[in-house]
């Protein structure tokens, strides 16, 4: 295997261990098998996240003071998230926000030799969030970090197992990232290390209890 990647068998083994920890700590991850191949497994999780709504400022509502205008722009661009699930990112919700359901899937990519994080986000009435809305839910420091490659970092692709559209954190840089995080001779904590690194980008983090185990 190339540096920073794992085999499908290693992924399946680590997914089973991860699911066992989820049960132990009363987390909400589930382990599922592909309907096409029972040996192909993937992890799923759902949690509710409070997402700030974008504020649109009309042209006839210009502020007379530049200080007020700057404050309005800052409020328009500021998007925080808070969630009800302990294993998801928690921040202070803004005054104007709505609760959305995020559905996360961890699927192995044979092409890249790495796990891939797929997800969808829905409003309370079942509407799928747009790519722009999903990007706005990303914590601001990650938006700043990926601003020049935002649409190659976060894309919409067909789920490789379910065959329907999902958002995806693109795996093209995953092997390089993991080769720096984990020595090539040690892959025992690969899945936990990977999810700890990429999950917070889309509001998901691994509880410390998983790592200490």
Q: How far from each other are the two terminal CA atoms of the chain, in whole angstroms? A: 27
Distances (CA, A) of 21 to 6, 25, 72, 82, 103: 20, 6, 44, 24, 19
pLDDT at 9 over 60: yes
pTM score, two decimals? 0.75
Catalytic residue (choose from 47, 88, 100, 172): 172
Length of the chain: 213
Mean pLDDT calculated for residue range 4-24: 94
pLDDT of residue 151: 53
Using one digit for the tens of pLDDT, what is the confidence trace for 90-138?
A: 444 444 668 889 999 999 999 999 999 999 999 989 999 888 888 877 8
What is the C-alpha separation between 5 and 179, in angstroms, rounded? 8
What top-level class would CATH report for the domain 8-212?
alpha beta
pLDDT of residue 118: 97
Tokens of 188: 């025992």
Task: Examine the residue annotation and report whether 172 is marked as an active-site residue of this protein.
Answer: yes
Query: Domain limits of the chain?
Result: 8-212
Residue 210, CB-side half-sphere exposure with 13 Å CA sphere: 25
What does the angle CA 43 – CA 190 – CA 138 come to, to the nearest 5 degrees?
65
Using one digit for the tens of pLDDT, what is the confidence trace for 47-67?
A: 988 776 654 333 333 344 344
């Amino acid at each position: 295997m190339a540096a920073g990647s794992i085999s499908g068998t290693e992924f399946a083994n680590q997914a089973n261990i991860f699911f066992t920890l989820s049960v132990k700590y009363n987390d909400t991850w589930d382990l599922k098998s592909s309907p096409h191949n029972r040996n192909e497994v993937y992890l799923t999780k759902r949690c509710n996240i409070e997402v700030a709504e974008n504020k649109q400022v009309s042209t006839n509502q210009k502020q007379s003071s530049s200080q007020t205008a700057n404050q309005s722009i800052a409020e328009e661009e500021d998007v925080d998230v808070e969630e009800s699930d302990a294993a998801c990112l928690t921040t202070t919700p803004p005054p104007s926000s709505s609760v959305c359901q995020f559905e996360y899937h961890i699927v192995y990519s044979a092409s890249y030799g790495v796990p891939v994080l797929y997800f969808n986000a829905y409003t309370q009435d079942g509407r799928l969030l747009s790519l722009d809305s999903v990007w706005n839910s990303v914590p601001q420091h990650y938006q700043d970090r990926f601003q020049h490659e935002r649409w190659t970092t976060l894309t919409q692709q067909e789920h490789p197992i379910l065959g329907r559209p999902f958002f995806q954190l693109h795996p093209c840089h995953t092997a390089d990232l993991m080769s720096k995080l984990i020595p090539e001779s040690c892959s025992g904590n690969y899945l936990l290390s990977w999810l700890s690194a990429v999950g917070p980008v889309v509001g998901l983090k691994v509880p410390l209890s998983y790592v200490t185990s």
